[in-house]
Structure 1
Amino acid sequence: MRDNIFLSYVLVDLLFAVGGGLLLIFALVTRSEIDQTPTIQNVATDLLLSMCPLTAAIANAVLIFFTFLMSVPAMVMPMTRGWLKFHGYLVVICALFTMIIGLTIWFDTLKTRKNLSNIWNAQPNTTQSLLQQKFNCCGYNNATSPPFFVPDSVCTTPLVAAANIGCVTPFVSFANNFLDIIFTGAFGIVGIDVALILTTAMLLKDRKEKERYRHIDEKQGVGSF
């Protein structure tokens, strides 16, 4: 007879492991991309990704994989509840960890203009020029207030630069849309964690009831089922 509760638990647990894999791949690929030479195509995304807590994401992914491994004894021993409880507690920790990462990125979106101003000021002229070319703008606020524009193919002269917009508006808009995708993904993983917590609780209840019935049958001399 097929155990639908157990199968649901296994399915969501596998999704949980996949979420950890995606988190690890994202962090490792991001680190690799950040180390590459900036271009017009990747300069903005790389600067934004450098703001993300990548080390915490890697640590979270490792914890997720460890938690998944702790679910294996609960799967292979169909009547055990100790391993299942331990796994459930670890899933709660993983969910909180991932939520903190997502909330950290979300909170940064509330301070995007300030954060991007600090990032812009810390960049060399070559990177600022790439951002100007990407967003077709001149200077951060505008061409006539510090930090001043960098002469390039977009901002060829002070007159041309003064007629162009500052980079702050398109850069902030791009950053908010990009970071929204990242923290939404993190919250999506938290959603899987919550689903796993619920299926774990259901499986615990199911195993407890089966154990109770088994004890009743043993007392009646029927034997375990």
Structure 2
Amino acid sequence: MANKILLAYIGADGLFVIMGAIMLGFSVIVQNDAFTTPAEGMQAARNLFYQKFPLTAGIVNAVFIFVTFLSTVPAIITPSRAWLKISGYLVTVCAAFSLILGLYLWILTLTVKKDFAPIWIAQTPEIQSLMQTAFNCCGYFNSTSPAFVTDATCPSPAAAALMRGCATPISSFANVFVDDIFTAVFGMCGIDGVLILATACLAKDRKENERFRHIDEKSDARGTF
């Protein structure tokens, strides 16, 4: 009968490498799309927030996850506990790395309104207009701070003065999608934790098996006299 502890370890290891693939795919795709010309306001806002993401760090973390996964292969196919210990330490490093990325994204959500103001100011009138249209707002904090861009949503100073600033709706929009992302990253840390526990259980099981094997060897040796 297959060792259930080993099967659990293999399952956790599979989830671990899938997690690395997801992180790599997301980081590469977003890094390629973040600087494309947006077609509408929500895409423009999303791209601007994506440019603040630690995407390069995400790619590095994903690569390190794959390296760690490779170290688990000899831990699976050999009874030695040495590779288990090495892979366990590497998984711990991956978990810490992912946790730092998740915390960084979480901290971004705490100061979205203030941090996005200089980003808004740096954009062209065309990009600002796209965001005004998408979020039905004028200017950033209000229609005069900084000054709104004249468009169909904000056709005149009098009309713009009656509209809300874009800071609040953009902050709410950013909080929703960034919350989903850092929650997913924290979930990846949970998978790391499961693999660490599975590693500890498998190492303990192998240690017990080794102890019993030594006992049997000693018993057989005494039986020959």
Indicate the residue corresponding to 1:111 in structure 2: 111
Cα offsets for 1:65-101 (capped at 9, x unmatched): 0000010001111x11000100000000000000000
Q: Percent identity?
A: 50
Structure 2 CA distance for aligned equivalents of residues 164 and 110 of structure 1: 25
State the match for 1:188 in structure 2: 187
Question: Any stretches of 5+ residues in structure 1 without a counterpart?
Answer: none
Pairs within 5 Å for 1:116-195: 116-144=116-144, 146-195=145-194
Q: Residue 87 of structure 1 aligns with which residue?
A: 87
Q: Is 1:60 the counterpart of 2:61 in the alignment?
A: yes
**Deviation readout 1:104-123 (Å, 9 max, x if unpaired):** 11111111111111211221
Q: TM-score, normalised by structure 2?
A: 0.95
- Post-superposition Cα deviations, 1:158-198, rounded to whole Å, max 9, x if no partner, equal 12111111101101111111110111010000000000000
Comparing 210-219 with 113-122, greater Cα deviation is found at 113-122
**d(CA) in 2 for partners of 1:137, 1:102:** 31
Please list every run of at least 4 consecutive aligned residues from structure 1 whose deviation after the TM superposition is greater than 6 angstroms: none
Corresponding residue number in structure 2 for 1:37:
37
The Cα offsets for residues 38-81 of structure 1, whole Å up to 9 and x where unpaired, read as: 1214111111111110010000000000000010001111x110
RMSD: 1.0
- 1:31 Cα shift? 1.0
Partner Cα separation in structure 2 for residue 111 and residue 35 of structure 1: 22
SS in 2 for 1:42: helix
User: Residue 84 of structure 1 aligns to which amino acid in structure 2?
Assistant: L
Q: Which residue of 1 aligns with 2:72?
A: 71
SS of equivalent to 2:113: helix
Once the two structures are overlaid, the 10-residue window that deviates more, 150-159 or 17-26, is 150-159
1:35, distance to aligned residue in structure 2 (A) = 2.5
Aligned residues: 220
Which segment is superposed worse, 87-96 or 42-51? Answer: 42-51
